[in-house]
Structure 1
Amino acid sequence: MNGPRRALWTLTWKAHGRRLLAWPLAWTALVLAMASATRSLYPDGASRLRYASTIGSSRIQELFNGRGYNLTSAGGIEAFEVGMFGLVLVPVGASLLAVRLMRAEEALGRWEVVSAGGYGKTAPTAAAMAAQACSTALFGAASFAGLLLFGFPAGGAAKYCLILCLFALVFAAAAALLAQTVADAKAAGTAVMAWVMFCYLVRAAIDGRRLSATWLTPMGWLAEARPWGASRLWPYAACATAAAALAAAALALCRVRDLGGAAVSPRPGRAGAAKWIRGTRYVWRLTRSSAAGWCAAALCWAAPVGAMGDEIDVWAEQNPGIAQLFGGHAPRDFMSVLAVGIIGLLALAAGLATAAELRGEEASGRLGLVCSTRCGYASVMRAWFAQSALTAAAVAASGGFAYWISIGASTGKWELSSSLGAAALLLVPIVAVLAGAFAVFSYAPKAWAAVWALACWVAVVELLADPLDLPEWGRKLSPLYLVGRVPMESPSWIATGCVGAAALALALAGVKARPRDLAAG
């Protein structure tokens, strides 16, 4: 690496070092947490054989986690248990990090200064790609070292960490290409999230029905590598080739587009705002597209999962003893808990994403301009909180209704409590988290990271509480866990009432706070 390129690489690390380390650290924590749980829960061959014949043969688990191979080994169980979180967290983190590295500095005009200094148009993009590749390599090295400490075989650990790194680079390169295609960073982020969701849904449909087309998306390549047994070469080659081709295409587009522009030019808007947008209704104008995207994601998730209800019933009839795996509950009820739980997580993410838009408006100075009109600070806060809650409710309703229709059509059993009722019940803790987010924004905006930390913990409890064997007190830190796992369990109305009261108190505290000094404007 020559001097100028090394300088750009160093500049990228100085500007985005925290993000370049935070995502690999989160991925490593996931891999090692599951490694620890695997070693403690399945320490010998007998327990692993029992795992392979029960959990490993579950159609529900394959739907969420992907195909499982070599499940009589600790490494195979580790890869299977990383499952859904690995299939979502790694691509999302890699994609969002790539968009941030590609667009943040360029939007501020810094890349224009760098390009004018003789570095070339593609040099900053190439430096960002190199920095992300180095960040991904750190994740692989840290995970490999951790797996060795837990006693996993070195050969399998090396192959597993390699395929994870290549898997992350595929989505990072795809996001880099999308970042060259779409000028706006927010639009690029929405596009990469849609791409990740599309890949996951296609993979879920293939694995849930045990079709042979696992090659159709990169998410199918991850499990097909089979690093803990007789490995296959083609998934490694496919990931490496796809990442290289997408990165080359991104650099080619970067070379021909204008700085600050994109391959697809945005359509100019109207010069003046419509009358109905004026006032606090501009909140709807700013957030409607993202709200529609989250609703579409919930629909696309819930419909195919619910359509598998009849297959789950047939599978349960063919395996009478499988009910013990789900604590005596019907497998379809267990699937409903997982499906509606993910709908709840989507609703929570949608509400928090809408609330986060308010921080962007403040940083840009536009919130100060709006508050200087007759709207006022309190009016804007009320409108934004209402929009966040309505967005979460729309996502929950879309997913819950789609799941109810699809599972009812596939099984002939129209049970409201398994979908719509459970989704409605989850809205209470979701609104409580949103109310807390607005209270944080009003009183301690610098503590916003705590809001996302709580959301991440809610996701961990919802999806990994049992595999990680989390203690009961840790699970109760999630508001969604407190209301009960409907329809497998009866709802806890006392806890629901307490969470609802907390939501009301936090909402009043947030929207009626005295105006503080804004960051800009």
Structure 2
Amino acid sequence: MTATSSRPRDGGGPLTGTGAMVRLALRRDRLRLPIWVLVVVALVPRFYYAATSAVVPTPQALADATRLIRASFMRVLAGPFFGAEAVTTQKYFLAAYWVEFLLAAALMNILLVTRHTRAEEQSGRAELVRAAVVGRPAQLTAALVVAAAGNAVLALLAAVAAGAIGFTAGGALLFGASLAAAGMVFAAVAAVTAQLTEHPRGATGLAGAVLFVAWLLRGAGSLQAEQGGPLFWLSPIGWSQQTRVLAGDRWWPLGLSVLLAALLVAAAYALAGRRDLGAALVAARPGTACAPVWLRSPLALALRLRRAAIVSWAAAFLAVGLVLGGMTGAMSVTDLPIFAGADFGRAWLGLMVFTGSLYTGVHAVLSVLRLRAEEVRGLAGPVLAGPTSRRAWFGSSLLASALAVVALLTVYGVALGAGAALSTGDGRLVAEVAWASLRRVPEVLVLLAVPAALLGLAPRAAGAAAWAVLGCSGFVAVLGAYLRLPGPLVNASVLSHLPWHPLEAAAPVATVVLLGLAAALTGLGLYGLRRRDLSTG
């Protein structure tokens, strides 16, 4: 790549062309960004309805849920319960789900900024843009402007949604502002990480690691004190929660988010000015001249390329599994109507095993869609130009993704079972929950096979269609019974056919059918890939 001057050829300022690049970014994100915002906003009334209809439909259930969510392990997951002395369903909604909306806003901004900065450089589009009359900081500025606009819209619509479920006007506005503040902090984090590594996945991974650390610090701070200890104040997620919506409505903690975002943006501009276009401040480590013998196969290459992602996901699953499993003891002595007549501790484990399956599906889709990115960027061509056939490349990559699915579900199941065993004193739960987690492998393999089939038959639609299948399946499986959705719609969900272990018995017929469907979809993908030309962009 070539270096560029900080001043355009016509003598204009460094921000010349920013407006055009903002319009270009909005044009390219005309579907993706609105979908992100609308989904996050739509989940506000949906989660509130699910909570009030299934978890806390009565004052007694609300009191029981309040005692549960104030327990130590529940605070680690969700955060402090402000205003518990005069609890309402709106306050319970905040205590149970607020952190999830904050994490969603942060993730939206990380992906947005990385997509319009580092990903543009790696694809070569940024170099073409810089050849025109465009200032050096214009691209980063445009990405941050689009992120700020998206966060402003998210804050406004979230405030409207919060007001619709009974928040006060001030509380609703503060709730929306808390999401926007967290989003801008992590947009700035992504702006910095985009300067550090040459690859979009690396930049996204580093920013995601910062988000995970922020979540851990917030959880550790929640253990220190019921309303947040010193560690809580080290997390931008914690700052948004410390606004205490509906329990004092404090705006000043958001000033910390604004200050940190400003400092990080300044650092991103400074770092961007110290590197060449396409380069990174942390240089990629050169590999050896000759590959070892064990790496000279398509499967070994696929596993090597996915190694960092698998390790990072496994570490996250290990930490989250231990935390969620540790709540089982408190859940076992709680009687809430969501699982009426059942052992609530085991019901909790069944729900958490299902949740692990859903998130493993996210990893599976990302892993398969990586093949499309390799194809479009021209990385698959050199591999296929040698003795490696399309069948070997495609099949080995899918096998590596399937092995990663098994490994992740094993790690998550063992961690969840270990946490449950520690909190209840029942050591048998480790093996039982681990086996229950592995029994959900077939449905995740179907989620993996859907984008595989689409890559062969309709590669341009693979991404959107695969995420739609995953999102709709999760929505139907979780809320289908409460919303009384039609039977055919429920049966169309990939995640609706296996019972929530270990709450219910095994389902061998559904397991065999799901494995057969995964094999058939994979075969369709291979058939389509062999009959079409490789894409060049």
* Class of the TM-score when normalised by the shorter of the 2 chains: 0.7 to 0.9
Stretches of structure 2 that go unaligned for 5 or more consecutive residues are 1-12
- In the TM superposition, residue 161 of structure 1 has moved relative to its aligned partner by 0.9
Residue 431 (structure 1) aligned with residue 445 (structure 2): yes
Q: Deviations over 1:78-109 (max 9, x none)?
A: 43454453143222111111111221323344
Farther off after superposition, 181-190 or 4-13? 4-13
- In the alignment, is the contact (CA less than 8 A) between 1:417 and 1:487 conserved in 2? no
Distance (whole Å) between structure 2 residues aligned to residue 130 and residue 24 of structure 1 = 16
Give TM-score, length-normalised by structure 2: 0.85
Write the letter of the residue equivalent to 1:439.
A
Tell me the C-alpha RMSD between the 2 structures. Answer: 3.1
Write the letter of the residue equivalent to 2:244.
R
- In the TM superposition, residue 465 of structure 1 has moved relative to its aligned partner by 5.9
Could you say which residue in structure 1 is the equivalent of 2:359?
346
- In the alignment, is the contact (CA less than 8 A) between 2:236 and 2:257 conserved in 1? yes
Could you say which residue in structure 2 is the equivalent of 1:29?
42
- In the alignment, is the contact (CA less than 8 A) between 2:76 and 2:323 conserved in 1? no
- In the TM superposition, residue 386 of structure 1 has moved relative to its aligned partner by 0.9
Q: Deviations over 1:125-180 (max 9, x none)?
A: 12211121011111122233344455643222111111111111111111111112
Residue 516 (structure 1) aligned with residue 532 (structure 2): yes
Distance (whole Å) between structure 2 residues aligned to residue 423 and residue 463 of structure 1 = 17
SS in structure 2 of the partner of residue 54 of structure 1: helix
Matches within 5 A, 1:6-155: 6-34=19-47, 49-58=59-68, 59=71, 62-70=75-83, 72-80=87-95, 82-83=97-98, 85-112=100-127, 119-148=134-163, 152-155=167-170
Residue 478 (structure 1) aligned with residue 488 (structure 2): no
Farther off after superposition, 454-463 or 433-442? 454-463
- Number of residue pairs matched? 511
Residue 256 (structure 1) aligned with residue 274 (structure 2): yes
Could you say which residue in structure 2 is the equivalent of 1:507?
522
- In the TM superposition, residue 185 of structure 1 has moved relative to its aligned partner by 0.9
Q: Structure 1's 310 and 25: CA in aligned 2 closer, same or farther, altered over 3 A?
A: closer
Q: Deviations over 1:24-59 (max 9, x none)?
A: 2222222243356578789xxx95744531223324
SS in structure 1 of the partner of residue 391 of structure 2: helix
Residue 237 (structure 1) aligned with residue 226 (structure 2): no
- In the alignment, is the contact (CA less than 8 A) between 1:295 and 1:395 conserved in 2? yes
- In the TM superposition, residue 338 of structure 1 has moved relative to its aligned partner by 3.5
Distance (whole Å) between structure 2 residues aligned to residue 64 and residue 362 of structure 1 = 39
Distance (whole Å) between structure 1 residues aligned to residue 494 and residue 468 of structure 2 = 13
- In the alignment, is the contact (CA less than 8 A) between 1:295 and 1:399 conserved in 2? yes
Q: Deviations over 1:481-512 (max 9, x none)?
A: 32111112223333233223322332333345
Matches within 5 A, 1:344-383: 344-383=357-396
Q: Deviations over 1:193-219 (max 9, x none)?
A: 222233334434554786532323222
1:270 to 288, 308, 314: 288
- In the alignment, is the contact (CA less than 8 A) between 1:354 and 1:387 conserved in 2? no
- In the TM superposition, residue 394 of structure 1 has moved relative to its aligned partner by 0.7
- In the alignment, is the contact (CA less than 8 A) between 1:166 and 1:240 conserved in 2? yes
Distance (whole Å) between structure 2 residues aligned to residue 110 and residue 49 of structure 1 = 58
- In the alignment, is the contact (CA less than 8 A) between 2:328 and 2:349 conserved in 1? no
Residue 300 (structure 1) aligned with residue 319 (structure 2): yes
SS in structure 2 of the partner of residue 162 of structure 1: helix
Distance (whole Å) between structure 2 residues aligned to residue 210 and residue 444 of structure 1 = 53
Residue 193 (structure 1) aligned with residue 180 (structure 2): no
2:404 to 391, 403, 406: 391
Q: Structure 1's 293 and 357: CA in aligned 2 closer, same or farther, altered over 3 A?
A: same
Matches within 5 A, 1:451-466: 451-461=466-476
Identity %: 27
Give TM-score, length-normalised by structure 1: 0.87
Q: Structure 1's 341 and 350: CA in aligned 2 closer, same or farther, altered over 3 A?
A: same
SS in structure 1 of the partner of residue 273 of structure 2: helix
- In the alignment, is the contact (CA less than 8 A) between 1:426 and 1:480 conserved in 2? no
Distance (whole Å) between structure 2 residues aligned to residue 110 and residue 505 of structure 1 = 37
Farther off after superposition, 413-422 or 293-302? 413-422
- In the alignment, is the contact (CA less than 8 A) between 2:353 and 2:436 conserved in 1? yes
Q: Structure 1's 170 and 258: CA in aligned 2 closer, same or farther, altered over 3 A?
A: same
Distance (whole Å) between structure 1 residues aligned to residue 53 and residue 342 of structure 2 = 25
- In the alignment, is the contact (CA less than 8 A) between 1:35 and 1:147 conserved in 2? no
Write the letter of the residue equivalent to 1:419.
V
Could you say which residue in structure 2 is the equivalent of 1:166?
181
